[in-house]
Structure 1
Amino acid sequence: MTTQNQTTLSIGVIGLGAMGKGMANSLRRAGHHVSVCDVRYEAAEAFAQEGGTAHKTPAALAQAADIIVSVVVNADQTEQVLFGANGAAAHMKAGSLFIMCSTVDPNWSVALEKRLNDMGLLYLDAPISGGAAKAASGQMTMMTSGQAAAYTKAGNALESMAAHVYKLGDRAGYGSKVKIINQLLAGVHIAAAAEAMALGLREGVAADALYEVITNSAGNSWMFENRMAHVLKGDYTPLSAVDIFVKDLGLVLDTARATKFPLPLSATAHQMFMQASTAGHGREDDSAVIKIFPGIELPQAH
């Protein structure tokens, strides 16, 4: 049995999607003992072939790890990971740490911290941003908050996964609040980028020329540069899907509604993603929000 220290930790990663797989690889490169679990067991097995251990259930993984990093889609999936059939929580060792990386309602995260603390477990609210490429290279951002004991338990695990680890408060909730504010901007920027490109197409401007000019002008944004490249290629393979922003902007609006805080741009962007989803584009890349605009001819895949 390996002694836990600041350089070598026993860490389990649940969820080997675009982000989770990269994070697990980063932890392995950093020299940690990594256990993995995914609903697609073959994904866990493929990871373990290059080092690490595959487990069929969160419960089995929990018995092997002192720290669990959960990289699933939402709060419902996190509930299943922890408290569902073969869930991790009941099998985690006293004093173990659960790191929650999903985008969730901040109030739900606050409640989860108490639930786990009451079981003798530690918790970090730690949503992530940066996309699959940055997750794979260990260059992503983590927005974290939690008790001092949780950070102590984490050791250097957070820095092994992310280039930017922000500590935003001494209890859960603040990480999730900052993440949904980030999602507010991301969703509005994508919607605005799609609207601008759609207007250009409607007015007969060459799409590639418009892209070139905007990405070298003051109107550019990271989202315009990244997502409108997908539109130019006619490639709507989902890196982040339309339905993710239906969910995330919904969380933004729910949070603001609780204190009667107006968010007119967020509300409009949310309606745009809702319209795209209802039109059948929910599982396409979020740049497919451009498909809601009438009377334009979009570039085709080539």
Structure 2
Amino acid sequence: MKSVGIIGIGDMGSGIAKNLIANGFTVTGLDLDPDRMKAFTAMGGTAATSPADVARASQAVFVMVMTGDQAKSVLFGGEGLVEHLPQGAAVILSATIKPREAREIGKAMAGSGIHLIDTPVSGGFPGAQGGTLTMMAAAPDVVLDRFAPVLQAVSANIHRVGTQPGEGQTVKACLQSLIGAQFSATFEAAALAAKAGVPGQVLLDVFSTSSAGCGVVNNALEKIIDRQFEGTGSHINTMHKDLTISMSLGEELGVPLHTAASAMQVFHAGRTRYPNGDNWVCTRVIEEIVGAELHRDPKS
């Protein structure tokens, strides 16, 4: 199994493609952005003009789009993946969508002879580019065993979280509710330190060596104190969308998500004020309210 496809070659998909190619796979890809397609072919990928073209050249296809509707649009219809993939091939749903949307996709694919691996990922831009993503994979063991080499090419941790469509997305929704809360707390702590006159480097040194330190907090604080609010590979739209999924699942199940709801509002404010920014730009909204900025060096 050496022919793999990918649809969606943005910040995350480009890293997946890069690592598949580095591991010896022939990769056929599709994205609506011409610049992304140029970068993809420059790294050794083969450009396609439709999902059907990707399907005909592949034994497994990663779907790394933004929404459930986008996933359905590339999977179904006359030019969709499901219609043109060979029997026994797999759709690897690595996009983060609503669990019910993944279940709907699974139901629509039933009887097609095409496997569905529901496996959203975590690790962000660095994980995608470094091939160290965490996968929350839901599919029968026999399917995951068969396609393990493809998954292992892009992931350092593959967790088998279930066997049915939607189970991977459910775990991801729980994870994003936590990550959203970690982000928003970091943004507020950064603004508090700025107003109090604490240097950014001091805050990073303390946070990163304390029990609160973790990849999410440390990376966010690094970006804040270096004032890197755009182009870091973590666009605010993605986390904002993920939090809406978490909140939707909480509403569906009747689970109160007080902290995730607060994080949702922080990200909503950041996205409204700075629509082109990355996650950490939410800090700027709070800084503007308090009239202080956190820099690595207070003199900068």
Same fold, judged at TM 0.5 (above): yes
How far residue 71 of structure 1 moved from its aligned partner, in angstroms, is 1.3
Q: CA deviation at 1:152?
A: 4.5
Note if 1:267 corresponds to 2:264. Answer: no
2:250 to 256, 261, 267: 256
* Cα distance in 2 for residues equivalent to 1:38 and 1:214: 39
1:230 is aligned to 2:223: yes
For structure 1, the residue ranges without an aligned partner over 5 or more in a row are 1-7
Give runs of aligned pairs for residues 156-175 of structure 1, distance below 5 A: 156-175=149-168
1:241 maps to which residue?
235
TM-score, normalised on structure 2?
Answer: 0.90
The structure 2 residue matched to 1:210, chosen from 188, 191, 203, is: 203
Question: Which moves more between the two structures, 237-246 or 125-134?
Answer: 237-246
Q: Letter of the aligned partner of 1:205 in structure 2? A: V
Distance in 2 separating the partners of 1:43 and 1:281: 23
- 8 Å contact kept, 2:200–2:295: no
| Candidates 24, 32, 38, aligned match of 1:31 | 24
Q: Distance in 1 between matches of 2:285 and 2:205?
A: 23
Task: In structure 2, give the amino acid aligned to 1:252.
Answer: S
* Deviation for aligned residue 1:251: 0.9
CA distance in 1, matches of 2:216, 2:147: 32
SS across alignment from 2:253:
coil
1:184 has 2:177 as partner: yes
1:88-103 mapped onto 2 (5 Å cutoff): 88-103=81-96
Q: Distance in 2 between matches of 1:208 and 1:155?
A: 42
Aligned match of 1:5: none
Shift of 1:262: 1.0
Match of 2:56 in 1: 63
| Greater mean deviation of Cα atoms: 286-295 or 144-153 | 144-153
CA gap 1:112/1:149 in 2 versus in 1, 3 angstroms: farther
Amino acid at match of 1:150: V
Let me know the Cα RMSD of the aligned residues.
2.1
What are the residue-to-residue correspondences of 1:66-85 with 2, within 5 Å?
Answer: 66-83=59-76
**Does residue 141 in structure 1 map to residue 134 in structure 2?**
yes
1:276 corresponds in structure 2 to 270
> 1:3 is matched with which residue?
none
Q: Which moved more, 1:178-187 or 1:132-141?
A: 132-141
Decide whether the 8 Å contact of 2:194 with 2:294 is kept in 1: no
**1:189 and 1:221 in contact (8 A); partners too:** no
Aligned AA for 2:291?
I
Q: Following TM superposition, by how much is the alpha carbon of 1:285 offset from its aligned partner in structure 2, in angstroms?
A: 0.9
For the pair 1:115 / 2:129, whether they are aligned, the reply is no
Where do 5+ consecutive residues of structure 2 fail to align?
A: none
Contact residue 17 and residue 45 of structure 2 kept, 8 A: no
Distance 1:221 1:55, change over 3 A: same
- Aligned pair partner of 1:196 in 179, 189, 202: 189
Structure 1 position 207, deviation (Å): 2.4
Q: Distance in 2 between matches of 1:160 and 1:206?
A: 41
Deviations 1:268-297 (A, max 9, x none): 11111112222x223311111112321232
Aligned to 2:291: 296
Residue of structure 2 aligned with 1:54, choices 41, 47, 60: 47
